[in-house]
Structure 1
Amino acid sequence: MVDTDRITGAAREAGGRIQSAVGDIVGSRRDSAEGRARQAQGRGESLYGEAKDGVRNAADQVADYAEDAYEHAGDYARQGQRAVAQRVEDAPIVSLLIAGAVGFGLALLLNTSRR
């Protein structure tokens, strides 16, 4: 969706170009200067609209990614569970040693926090 600032900015910029060109043709420095100012104002408004569109598009993409992660969270958890189970099955002794070390570390943390 195009922002209205982009549309009005482009229209104001075009009007400023026309006013500036007419001022140059007829020799009116006032119309030429006003046209250039109007053209610059329109360009700024158009750039502001483009920035708003960019932010809106980025927010939409973030929302899409979050929705995708939410919808597939169960799938990812099951894949991780299968991978861990496969590692434990492949190397049960190493897995037991790692689990023991983690348990020992947690026990130390809990014990030192009580002091």
Structure 2
Amino acid sequence: MIDTDRITGAAKAFGGAVQGAVGDIAGSRQDSVEGRLREAGGRAENLYGQAKDAVRHAADEAYDHAEDAYERGRDYLREGHDRSAAYPHASLLVAGLVGFGLGLLVSKL
């Protein structure tokens, strides 16, 4: 989706360029300078719109990556739960060994 600042900025830049060119041809320094200022303002607005589009795109990409990571984590958790439910004795044994190992570490300190 294109930001409206890009469209209005491009239109202002074009209008300013035309006004500046007409001012140059007509010899009107005021119209020439005014046109160049409008052109510069339009280009700045266009760049602002491009920056907003880039930030929006980056945010969308980050959201998609976070959503994928969340779904993968949920799947791993479900798979781990299913495996531990299939072997409850092994799960208890592993938990007991981990607890015993932590107890040894703490008692050494």
Q: What TM-score, normalized to structure 2? A: 0.73
Match of 2:37 in 1: 37
Q: Distance in 1 between matches of 2:26 and 2:19?
A: 11
Match of 2:4 in 1: 4
Aligned-pair identity (%): 58
Q: Which runs of 5+ in 2 are unaligned?
A: 84-97
Q: Distance in 2 between matches of 1:13 and 1:22?
A: 14
Q: Secondary structure of the equivalent of 1:73?
A: helix
Q: Secondary structure of the equivalent of 1:55?
A: helix
Match of 1:21 in 2: 21
Q: Distance in 1 between matches of 2:28 and 2:37?
A: 14
Residue identity matched to 1:37: L
1:102 Cα deviation from its structure 2 partner: 5.1
Q: Which runs of 5+ in 1 are unaligned?
A: 83-98
Q: Per the alignment, do residues 70 and 100 of structure 1 end up closer, same or farther by CA in structure 2, a change over 3 Å counting? A: closer
Q: Distance in 1 between matches of 2:32 and 2:25?
A: 9
Q: Secondary structure of the equivalent of 1:53?
A: helix
Match of 1:86 in 2: none
Residue identity matched to 1:21: A
Q: Distance in 2 between matches of 1:20 and 1:76?
A: 63
1:40 Cα deviation from its structure 2 partner: 0.4
1:71 Cα deviation from its structure 2 partner: 1.2
